[in-house]
Amino acid sequence: MSKIDILSIRKQFPILHQKVNGKPLVYFDNAATAQKPLSVIVALNTYYTRDNANIHRAAHTLAARSTEMFEDTRKTIQAFINAREVEECIFTKGVTESINLVAQTWGRKFLQAGDEVIITSMEHHSNIVPWQMICEEKGTILKIIPINDAGELLMDEYEKLLSPKTKMVACVWVSNALGTINPVKEIIEKAHAVGAKVLLDGAQACSHLDVDVQVLDCDFLAISSHKLYGPTGVGVLYGKRELLEAMPPYQGGGEMIKEVSFERTTYNDIPYKFEAGTPNIADVIAFKYALDFVNELGKENIRNHENELLHYLVNGLLTLNETNVMSSGVETHKQIKLIGTAKEKVSVQSFIIEGMHHFDVGMMLDARGIAVRTGHHCTQPLMNCLGLDGTVRASFSVYNTKEEIDVLVEAVKSIIKRK
Ligand code: PLP
């Protein structure tokens, strides 16, 4: 049993208490973005009504206050992922920018023609396209780890792909389309054994799983605030100090310099070397409140609650299939097929309904106030591997309830009736 006080949690999310299309909102699109607790919303408001000033540069009180709060978030994220040093945490716009930063700086400096980068079949486009871009520029070869029908990586195939030519393994920790938790510790150990670096896309993992970059020993980890109950437009790139120091800057401008003359510029130390220009100060500051929210609840409690929801949904959907067949002896309803049935999963469930387009299903659910995601989930190559053009995806957060899942299952039941 989970130790979550669901009523008090839901009270902290004002957006949940509304009607959509005349029905109470059921928000099951959390893998796309999580809703924000009041503490985050209030922090944004407070910052702009009381503290707004540009950071790091001025002597005045508001600037000092803003700087302190901004750097406080950096300390909080350092503790959240157990980075050895606070300077190893760089603020970005999100996971997409974090990965582009590594591809464009580390990749440009360290990849050569004939080198190999390995990714998986279940990557989000943001962990495919940046590598394709740099591989094309450098003559580096991109290799892909295949998956089985359940949506699990074929680790034997991964081992076959590894060689001294492998320079980077860039891998999604948790699949946004399938919910699969990849065995990243093993992936990292095997990559390091051939001298390769590892970047983890932590977009989906960080809100559900315990994160300890020192135990994992990953070289880079990309994190997104908006998947973690924080504001959009903020992310973090964690990188090991020696790697970040060896990498050239990403963008040039203010803040990332030590000294500039027309002849020559010297660069700032990490993390500022990678933070050119005025950052997203307010949202970074509010992100701390999202991390506090997660810390106060505890990842284990969150995970237990979400896993209960996942199993409840899976049982509900599978029971619809069974009762359809059993009640009449023949199949009288459209069947539901679950997509993503890995043994190790987070609370994300994709499915399709035979003979129906996922978009139509999404529209019918929306008419009942239920928000799910439909489409390829920015994983077109994965959809191609699965022979699909898209799925319906329900993804749960800590504020979701079994009663909401009942609403979804009832809605699916009425949709699958054969006409
Ligand atoms: N990677 C995965 C697995 C995702 O689910 C997402 C967002 O959906 C991203 C990357 C992109 O993250 P961001 O929106 O922070 O750029």
Nearest-atom index, ligand 1, CA of 96: 16
Q: What's the gap between Cα 45 and its chain centre?
A: 26
How far does the centroid of ligand 1 lie from the alpha carbon of residue 167, in Å?
A: 23
pLDDT for the residue numbered 322: 83
DSSP code of residue 37 = -
Contacts 24+ apart (CB under 8 A), 181-186: 181/205, 181/209, 181/342, 181/344, 181/345, 181/346, 182/120, 182/122, 182/153, 183/153, 183/155, 183/344, 184/216, 184/218, 185/215, 185/216, 186/155
Predicted local distance difference test score (pLDDT) of residue 130? 98
Nearest to residue 158, comparing CAs of 127, 125, 124, 116?
A: 116
Q: Which residues of 205-233 are buried (b: 16+ CB within 10 A; e: fewer)?
A: bbbbbebebeebebbbbbbbbbbbbbbeb
User: What pTM was estimated for this model as a whole?
Assistant: 0.97
The verdict on the CB of residue 279 being under 6 Å from ligand 1 is no
Question: Cβ of 56: how many Cβ atoms within 10 Å?
Answer: 17
Measured from the Cα of 98, ligand 1's closest atom is 16
Residue in 131, 204, 232, 234 to alter for ligand 1 test, most ligand atoms within 8 A of Cβ? 204
Q: Which residues are catalytic?
A: 378
Atom of ligand 1 minimally distant from the CA of 123: 3
**CATH domain 40-296 topology:** Aspartate Aminotransferase; domain 2 (3.40.640)
Best residue for ligand 1 mutational test, from 176, 180, 228 (most atoms within 8 Å of Cβ): 176
Residue ranges, the chain, pLDDT below 70:
1-2, 324-332, 418-419
Where exactly are the structural domains of the chain? Answer: 6-30+298-418, 40-296
Gyration radius from the chain CA atoms: 23
Q: What is the pLDDT of residue 326?
A: 61
Q: Which of 355, 351, 289 is nearest to 318 (CA)?
A: 351
Residue-level length of the chain:
419
**Per the structure block, which two tokens stand in for 321?**
């299939």
Q: For residue range 144-184, list pLDDT tens digits in order.
A: 999 999 999 999 999 999 999 999 999 999 999 999 999 99
| Separation of CA 22 and ligand 1 centre (Å) | 31
- Which token pair is 378? 């920015």
* CATH architecture of the domain covering 6-30+298-418: Alpha-Beta Complex (3.90)
Decide whether any atom of ligand 1 lies within 6 Å of the 96 Cβ. Answer: yes
How far is the CA of 136 from the CAs of 108, 114, 139, 151, 220, in angstroms? Answer: 11, 11, 5, 28, 22
Ligand 1 neighbourhood includes 222 CB (under 6 angstroms): no
Is the CB–ligand 1 distance for residue 94 below 6 Å? yes
Distance 124 CA to ligand 1 centre (A): 7
Contact 79, 181 (CB under 8 A): no
Lookup: tokens for 100: 């582009």
Give the ligand 1 atom nearest the CA of 126: 10
Going from the Cα of 152 to the center of ligand 1, the distance in angstroms, rounded, reads 19
- Single-letter amino acid, residue 287: F
**Residue whose CA is at the smallest distance from ligand 1 atom 5:** 176
> Does the Cβ of 95 fall within 6 Å of ligand 1?
yes
- For ligand 1, is residue 203 a contact (CB within 6 Å)? yes
Q: Which atom of ligand 1 is nearest to the CA of 227?
A: 15
Does residue 204's CB lie within 6 angstroms of at least one atom of ligand 1? Answer: yes
Residue-level pLDDT at 67: 97
Which of 89, 101, 93, 160 has the alpha carbon at shortest distance from 134? 101
Ligand 1 pocket test: which of 201, 228, 346 has the largest number of ligand atoms within 8 Å of its C-beta?
201
